[in-house]
Amino acid sequence: MNKIMIGQREIGDNKPVFVIAEIGSNHDAALDRAKELIHAAAKAGADAVKFQSFSNEGLLSYDHEGIKKLALPDEWHQVLFDYAVECGVMFLSAPFEKKKADLLNNLGVEVFKLASGDLTHLPLLKHIARFHKPIILSTGMAYLSEVEEAVHAIKAEGNDQLALLHCVSLYPAAYQDANIRAMGTLKNKFQLPVGISDHTLGLEVVLGAVALGASIVEKHLTFDRKLPGPDHPHSLTVDEFAQMVQSIRNLEQALGDGEKKPTKNEIPERQGARRSIYAAEPIKKGQTIGRESLKIVRHNLGLEPKELDQVVGKKAQQDIAANEVLTWQKIS
């Protein structure tokens, strides 16, 4: 099964790439900033925006003031969900604990996104799988066997609406670590839609992934990489994100259907660019045609070059002027 449904969107082979703007913690604990990023993501062409739903006590065994500060308040979820709908993009958030998963489910999210760090948190995966909603699972830091365990755990709960994202959990990730061919390994092994959650600094990895069959792309979004915070430095600016989306859409068109044939617009070019057999000198009616009397030049208006050996030795049925194209009607 290489397709799943996210809302009304079919995700999979030969379908438009589902583009997620990862806002993450780039809201910097400001609701207005979070809404501004949603609006910017929508204008840049994203299909969805993604946040993170966690609490200090649900994530860590100790207090961390930075985590507490960046935690998305429960009451923000409805506000951001509604604003995303208003902007025309889907609201996603990655839950890091069951309580937050329940909050999101009650909110009515259409798909769950799970972080790489929770790939081995099978109790959480099973809990979310029981909602019987689509799941997008990131696979950073994972061995294939761990991905297999996670997929099995989700499917065991009767949920096969699953997509896998290849990810390298480095911030930023270097090009030499990207290993986007691993995405194909996931696709071949699990027969599920695949994509990429990319943390490199450019657009190349995303576009390479799309060329290799990514159905989903996730990339961080910020207003300014110089802002303080853990995610800003490896995020795309709004203009860069818009460029990425446009490049993806252009690439989708460029990939084509794989059939090797002239395009509709190439057909007229065949006549001008291809060659035919022409008379290199005047040929008299009844004359036996020798190779020296022929040349192969543009345009393709008569006999094709592959027919040259058949033409040599034939007799002209009429006078043929120099630079005149040959046809079977003119020779025998």
| Per-chain mean pLDDT for the chain | 96
Helical (H) or strand (E) element with 186: helix 182-190
The rounded distance, in Å, linking the Cα atoms of 286 and 280 is: 17
The rounded distance, in Å, linking the Cα atoms of 24 and 233 is: 13
Q: Which fold has domain 3-255?
A: TIM Barrel (3.20.20)
The rounded distance, in Å, linking the Cα atoms of 41 and 90 is: 11
Per-residue pLDDT at 63: 67
Per-residue pLDDT at 229: 87
The rounded distance, in Å, linking the Cα atoms of 152 and 327 is: 67
Per-residue pLDDT at 1: 60
Per-residue pLDDT at 59: 73
- Kindly report the backbone phi and psi dihedral angles of residue 231, in degrees, each rounded to the nearest multiple of 5, phi listed first: -100, -20
Residue 64 has pLDDT above 70, yes or no: no
- Percent of the chain at pLDDT > 90 equals 92
The two structure tokens encoding residue 115? 């972080």
The 10s digit of each residue's pLDDT in 141-175 is: 999 999 999 999 999 999 999 999 999 999 999 99
Per-residue pLDDT at 305: 99
- For the chain, strand residue ranges (E) read 3-6, 9-12, 18-22, 48-53, 90-95, 112-114, 135-138, 162-167, 194-198, 216-220, 276-279, 294-297
Residue 132 has pLDDT above 80, yes or no: yes
Per-residue pLDDT at 27: 93
Query: Taking Cα atoms as reference points, which of 275, 277, 291 lies closest to residue 330?
Result: 277
Considering the chain, tell me which residue range(s) the CATH 3.20.20.70 domain(s) occupy: 3-255
DSSP code of residue 260 = -
Per-residue pLDDT at 71: 83
Which single residue is written with the structure tokens 């923000």?
A: 76
The rounded distance, in Å, linking the Cα atoms of 326 and 56 is: 84
User: Who wins on pLDDT, 70 or 290?
Assistant: 290
Burial class (CB in 10 A: 0-12, 13-18, 19+), 65: exposed
Per-residue pLDDT at 311: 98
Helical (H) or strand (E) element with 309: helix 308-311
Considering the chain, tell me which residue range(s) the CATH 3.90.1210.10 domain(s) occupy: 271-327
Model confidence, pTM: 0.91
Residues forming beta bridges with residue 217, ordered by sequence position: 19, 196
Q: Between 238-255 and 31-44, two packed helices, what is the crossing angle to 10 degrees? A: 30
The rounded distance, in Å, linking the Cα atoms of 111 and 113 is: 7
Per-residue pLDDT at 65: 66
**Reduced to 3 states, what is the DSSP secondary structure of residue 244?**
helix
Residue 177 has pLDDT above 80, yes or no: yes
The 10s digit of each residue's pLDDT in 211-259 is: 999 999 999 999 999 999 889 999 999 999 999 999 999 999 999 999 9
Q: Please list the alpha-helical segments (H only) found in 95-139.
A: 98-107, 122-129
Residue 55 has pLDDT above 90, yes or no: no
DSSP code of residue 328 = G
The 10s digit of each residue's pLDDT in 185-213 is: 999 999 999 999 999 999 999 999 999 99
Per-residue pLDDT at 298: 98
> CATH classification of 271-327, choosing from 3.90.1210.10, 3.40.50.2000, 2.60.40.420, 3.40.50.970?
3.90.1210.10
- Percent of the chain at pLDDT > 70 equals 96
